Chains A and B, each alone.
Chain A
Amino acid sequence: SQTIHQWPATLVQPVGSPLSLECTVEGTSNPNLYWYRQAAGRGLQLLFYSVGIGQISSEVPQNLSASRPQDRQFILSSKKLLLSDSGFYLCAWSRGPGVNNEQFFGPGTRLTVL
């Protein structure tokens, strides 16, 4: 069976500090990978997605970046965090490419920027 891991579960960082969130998927190969953010009282906002190693599509201009150094590893980074970066960050995967592929989410990382 497939599993998706995210760490850390919670993170408190000062404004201006760097960020690195990691996501890994087990039990599948060549998945599509996604980073979402859920801000307080908001829905799920797609930040980045990747259909293969080194292939990153950015959905929202911001001070965040993503990388996919390995097939089942997806990393979300920032060089300098802003207060507005606070939120609940979710990684997801889907079988791809293909039709009618639902996305499966990880447990999330709660980021608080102070």
Chain B
Amino acid sequence: DQQVKQNSPSLSVQEGRISILNCDYTNSMFDYFLWYKKYPAEGPTFLISISSIKDKNEDGRFTVFLNKSAKHLSLHIVPSQPGDSAVYFCAARQGGSEKLVFGKGTKLTVNP
């Protein structure tokens, strides 16, 4: 049972344009959501997070949107840069738990 789903295994965008990465979840008890970026042969790096009491969080070029009614969140990267090319993982945590549940990731390619 996959509680966190990233239905697009890959995404390709042009440099300077917007990248939108999507994530859906099924567990209504999730109250904290995170995005990680991972380069090959490296550990994931934390990017940005959002609590369920908010619907938007912004940090520089990265913005995460949360739609609780649709159980959907998205990561927007504007403007996209070639260095953003990586695999992006969505993760979620249930309140009171010390664990994160990860999606399978979306590979983003930003073309110069």
B residues in contact with A87, CB < 8 Å: none
Q: Flag if A97 contacts B98 (CB, 8 Å).
A: yes
Task: Point out residues on A near B: beta carbons under 8 Å.
Answer: 6, 32, 34, 36, 42-46, 49, 51, 59, 88, 90, 92, 94, 96-97, 99-100, 102-108, 110
Q: Flag if B32 contacts A99 (CB, 8 Å).
A: yes
Asked whether any CB of chain A lies closer than 8 Å to the CB of B41, the reply is yes
The distance in angstroms between the C-alpha atoms of A86 and B45, with both chains bound, is: 22
Task: Point out residues on B near A: beta carbons under 8 Å.
Answer: 32, 34, 36, 41-46, 49, 51, 89, 91, 98-105
Most buried by A among B41, B43, B99: B43
A100: contacting residue among B32, B91, B103, CB under 8 A: B32
A residues in contact with B89, CB < 8 Å: 43-44
Closest residue of chain A to B43 (Cβ to Cβ) is A105
B residues in contact with A59, CB < 8 Å: 99
Q: A46-B100, A49-B98 in contact; A105/B44 too (CB < 8 A)?
A: yes
B residues in contact with A88, CB < 8 Å: 41
B residues in contact with A108, CB < 8 Å: 41-43
Q: A43-B103, A49-B99, A94-B98 in contact; A103/B43 too (CB < 8 A)?
A: no
B residues in contact with A49, CB < 8 Å: 98-99
B residues in contact with A105, CB < 8 Å: 36, 43-45
The distance in angstroms between the C-alpha atoms of A83 and B89, with both chains bound, is: 26
